[in-house]
Amino acid sequence: MQVTAGFLQGTALHIPSAPCQRCRHRQAPRPSATAAPARSSVESIPNATQFTNDIIADEKQYIMQTYVRPELVFTRGEGARLYDAHGKEYLDFAAGIAVNALGHTHPQWLQAVVEQAETLAHTSNLFHSVPQVRLAKKLVELSFADKVFYANSGTEANEAAIKFCRKFARVQAGIDPYDKAAEAPYEMVSFSNSFHGRTLGALALTYKDQYKTPFSPIMPGALMVPYMDLDAAAAVIKKGKTAGVIVEPVQGEGGIFPASTAFLGGLRELCDEAGALLVFDEVQCGLGRTGKLFGYQNFGVEPDILTLAKPLAGGLPIGAALVKQRVADAMAPGDHGSTFAGNPLVTAAADVVLDIIAQPAFLERVLSLGERLRSQLRQALAGNAHVKEVRGLGLITGIQLDVMAGDVVQKARDQGLIVITAGKGDVVRLVPPLIITEADVDIAVSILAEIINGL
């Protein structure tokens, strides 16, 4: 199929005026590739209540119950808007947990995905493919890094980073890395309130015990010290012991805590002295979220390894570890790999995402929208005894409450605004698509102010 402007304007495939066969949803035409995302009306699907109840009942019956979800089924997204089965519109300030940086069904992203799916979706990493090389070249040219390793998620990117740290330590120690009896530094240091993922290595570096204890014993050699406490870090980062230190330049799940230049710079020095690698986990704060392409660029401190995931492919599963040459040099063919990682489909999608986000004007907009959001929130919530702080950088913002934030999240949802929690559940987290407008910010602020000032 040829992807034409007509397709994007809703005159061809999957943009029916009759109910769509796949989602049973009557849809309005999509906006053109150049038009700003418009508010479109989406009709309720027939028997929306029954449809919603059936989906929720089947979810309970057929899907393992590891998530707590509201009684809500989204059936469509467009720009910064989501629609449920009833056709109710929601302003999306969660973006699939900081994933949909370009919003939903962005025309250029959609075009890239469709064209690549029609051309070549997957070959495995046994063969070269064009989009993954094109994307890696851009990531390297735009960052501190010399090489890219692809993964499928944030936790996998971090798992790769842990392996790189350990192998690097073995190579540095001058031992045969494949000698089972050989010993080399293997400890990994992470910080309180961190979140690095759910697989057993990344999990060991993640803060919350409740995520770890049921699965113990997890990865050995994981040490955790308070975030922003350089003295505590200095006490555990040791030559001959530490392989790597992993830190989020802006903590996301932990409650939206930006680091400081002094802290990250101090970690850089400690790692250099100990011969350990410094890993920045930018899975949530990377790729434009902070108003810089990479989070580290806010602090002027470069890591040895940087992990990316969430927004990189605009909603398709991808992860990446960007590394310095000396890290890449420590890894040999066969040391790590993945069947799906960086396949042509996801890397073609990511290529478009990166091209758009990396534009200076786009990043400046993220900065100014973030400033607008936080200054309006501070103004609207001034004097509210439940609000301890409004903090963030670019379009990652947390409203620190002195009560649990679940009630605010639910009331906002009822009023058509999707937000999520962070921290101990006492932070309202705002991580909207980066393509929101000033008007979207104003709507979100007015809904949140009304709710929080009514607490």
CB atoms within 10 A of CB 270: 20
Query: In this complex, which beta carbon is closest to ligand PLP, that of residue 17 or of residue 260?
Result: 260
In the list 75, 105, 155, 242, the residue contacting ligand PLP (rule: CB under 6 A) is 155
CB atoms within 10 A of CB 5: 13
Contact status: 295 vs ligand PLP (CB under 6 A): no
Query: Which of these segments, 66-74, 280-288, 336-344, 406-414, binds ligand PLP (CB under 6 A)?
Result: 280-288
**Binding mask of the shown chain, residues 62 to 101, with x at each position contacting ligand PLP by CB under 6 A:** -----------------------------------x----
Contact status: 196 vs ligand PLP (CB under 6 A): yes
Q: How far is the CB of 325 from ligand PLP (least distance, A)?
A: 24
According to DSSP, residue 422 is labeled E
Taking the alpha carbons of 35, 419, 347, 358 in that order, is the dihedral positive or negative?
positive
Query: Which of these segments, 3-11, 17-25, 147-155, 183-191, binds ligand PLP (CB under 6 A)?
Result: 147-155
Contact status: 154 vs ligand PLP (CB under 6 A): yes
In the list 10, 37, 252, 423, the residue contacting ligand PLP (rule: CB under 6 A) is 252
The CA distance from 345 to 246, in Å, is: 29
Tokens, residue 330? 């420590």
- Considering only residues 197-226, where is the footprint of ligand PLP by CB under 6 A? 197
CB atoms within 10 A of CB 257: 22
Contact status: 283 vs ligand PLP (CB under 6 A): yes
Residues 327 and 167: beta-carbon distance below 8 Å: no
Contact status: 159 vs ligand PLP (CB under 6 A): no
Instruction: Kindly tell me the burial class for residue 138, based on how many C-beta atoms sit within 10 Å of its own C-beta (0-12, 13-18, 19 or more).
Output: middle
Q: How far is the CB of 253 from ligand PLP (least distance, A)?
A: 5
Query: In this complex, which beta carbon is closest to ligand PLP, that of residue 195 or of residue 296?
Result: 195
**Binding mask of the shown chain, residues 106 to 145, with x at each position contacting ligand PLP by CB under 6 A:** ----------------------------------------
Give the orientation angle of helix 344-357 with respect to helix 130-142, to 10 degrees: 30
Residues 292 and 394: beta-carbon distance below 8 Å: yes
According to DSSP, residue 314 is labeled B
